[in-house]
Amino acid sequence: MKGLLYWFLGKASIRKKLVISFSVLVCIPILVLGVFSYNQAHRNIQAQTLSTTQSNLARLISEMDTRLQKEVDYTKYLAYNLNFRRALEIAAKNPVQLARQLNQNVEPMLWYFVASDSYISNMNIYSPNVGHSIGPFLKPDADFAEEDWYISHQKNFNTVWSFEKGRLFATRTVLDTGTSSRMIGILRAEIYLSLLLEPVESMKYMNNGVMLADQNSRIVYQKNSGNHTLDSLAVDYITGKTDENKAEELAFFEEGELTVSGWKVYYYVDKAAVTQQLTPIIRSTLIAVGLCLVLVLGLISWLSKLLSGRIMSLKTSAEQVAGGNFTLVQHTEDTDEIGVVTNSFATMAGQLQTMIDRVYKMEIDKKTTELKALQAMINPHFLYNCLSSLKWRAIYKDDEEMAHIAGLIAKFYRTSLNNGKQITTVRNEMENIKTYIELQQIMHKNSFEVVLNLQQEYLETPMLNFMLQPFVENAILHGLAYYEGTKGQGQLEVNFSVQQEFLVFEILNNGTRLDTARIDAILNKPGKGYGIYNIQQRIDLYYGKGSGVAAGVDDRGFTWFKIKLNKEKADV
């Protein structure tokens, strides 16, 4: 962490610092907002689910109470029917009268209720006053006297609901007509459980589960949620095998009581299903947060690039100034800190340019003065030798050769001095070299041959004056002098060509081979007079990068010097 902080504060670029800083400052609020939105949505959905669960339970209880109350009313009506009660009272005394009552009044009434009420599957009356079954409805109670539901009606005269072996029954005590306190029979109606529980089956909300339990906490009906673990936990909760807290960890549990039957209704919704409802919200939140982050990061990247671009532009200008180019730095209308620094830097660069121009001009003037001085006193030793040769030839030989030599000398000095101008053409420079070589051949009794290879179409190209003579002189005096007196053995090559943007001159000779140390000394150390080192200095001063002098020995054993001059800068 310390190393990362050190990198951020010290080594990271301005753009990276801006991007990281802005990203952290912007992303944290967006992420916090996203988390807050998710939590709020989660709480709202839970509250909505709980409210819906309570509402559904209340509606379910209301609908089932209505259906149960209808059956209670039917059983109550039948149990209090006077003809029905009188028939049961006379059953033991007058079977004929009982049969008449059943046929005329009771059975049609019972058939009417069974046929008209779609919830009633079957109906029976169990009475201690009959010894055998009479008709489809009236039966003796001897076989059921020990049943719980039968015993309960000895004291309870209301309609009682019971669930036995998957069958639902509504039972009610039939009382005597005289005192209405003595049991003369029990009306027992079997109810279609599936029809009665239609509201439960139709209650589908987020894979909800519903359970009905009777007064003894026995499960009468169970509609599973689809989550086996949760359904098992609900059973354990209803039967008292687990506590409410554990059940509520997995589901929303609500319970209510059916007023008519006294049964409990348990309604529960899996919390995992609620969480699944959050998936679209989470997805939408993530998409929204992602889009915001992309937009913000894009804007941050653009702003950081804009700001760092101005800094990098200033950096580029500084590098150009360091390289000697003071013209790229421009003033700006911006008034912020970067603009102030840019304008200050531009002012500094302008002042440096002015100072350098002043010093550069002084240097040029100095070099020009030195060159003129050199041109005024070029190699007096060579001039003395030439004049001495003329003298002796004049004594021993009277011919026109002396006049030719004198003419060559005059031409050489004329092309060398170039009327005091520094700029000449390649053609004039070649004429100077040709004149100089011809004089040297005369002096050395034609002991070497000369090969000229000149690219004719570029002979009018401008170049600095008096650039090649020191190289030719070096080749003759320090190379070809080896062949003095041996006619035709030495060879001097002068080549000129244009390669890309450079004028290229090559001076080669097959004389004494120079070693690497000697070549390095010639190129990089000043001599006694105006030599190759001075040429190198002039090239650096006038032509700059890419131009210069190189030397070596080729495969033939020829020592070569190569001079490269940028032809685009020859008009300085």
Q: Tokens 């997805």 identify what position?
A: 283
The region that residue 557 occupies, defined by phi over 0 for left and psi between -120 and 50 for alpha, beta otherwise, is left
- Residue 460: the pLDDT is 93
> Which of 140, 126, 207 minimizes the C-alpha distance to 172?
126
Residue 447 reports pLDDT greater than 60: yes
Residue 319 structure tokens: 């590098």
- Cα 257-260-262 angle, rounded to 5 deg: 45
Residue 289 reports pLDDT greater than 70: yes
pLDDT digits (tens, 9 = 90+) for 73-113: 888 888 888 888 888 887 767 777 777 777 777 788 888 88
The DSSP result for 363-409, as a single string, is HHHHHHHHHHHHHHT--HHHHHHHHHHHHHHHHH--STHHHHHHHHH
CA distance 305 to 17: 11
Q: SS in 3 state form for 310-350?
A: HHHHHHHHHHHHHCCCCCCCCCCCCCCHHHHHHHHHHHHHH
CA distance 508 to 150: 139
Q: Is the dihedral of CA 49, 54, 55, 59 positive or negative?
A: positive
Residue 302 structure tokens: 């653009």
CB neighbour list of residue 18: distance below 8 Å, 6 or more residues apart: 300, 303, 304, 307, 308
Identify which has the larger pLDDT, 49 or 547: 547
What is this structure's pTM?
0.48
CA of residue 160 relative to chain centroid, distance:
71
Q: How many CB atoms within 10 Å of residue 47?
A: 10
CB 494 within 8 Å of CB 452: yes
CA distance 238 to 268: 12
- CA dihedral 9→15→19→20, nearest 10 degrees, is -20
Phi first, then psi: what are they for 330, rounded to 5°?
-115, 150
CB 91 within 8 Å of CB 104: no
Cα–Cα separations (whole angstroms), residue 328 to 77, 340, 355, 569: 111, 17, 17, 20
- Cα 434-440-441 angle, rounded to 5 deg: 90
- Residue 493: the pLDDT is 95
- Predicted confidence band at 565 (pLDDT cuts at 50, 70, 90)? very high
DSSP label at residue 496: E
Residue 427 reports pLDDT greater than 90: yes
Pairing relationship of beta strands 167-175 and 183-191 according to DSSP bridges: antiparallel
Residue 223 reports pLDDT greater than 60: yes
Residue 376 reports pLDDT greater than 50: no
List 494's β-bridge partners, or say none: 452, 507
CA distance 113 to 74: 8
- Predicted confidence band at 384 (pLDDT cuts at 50, 70, 90)? very low
pLDDT digits (tens, 9 = 90+) for 364-373: 655 664 565 4
Calculate the average pLDDT of the chain. Answer: 78
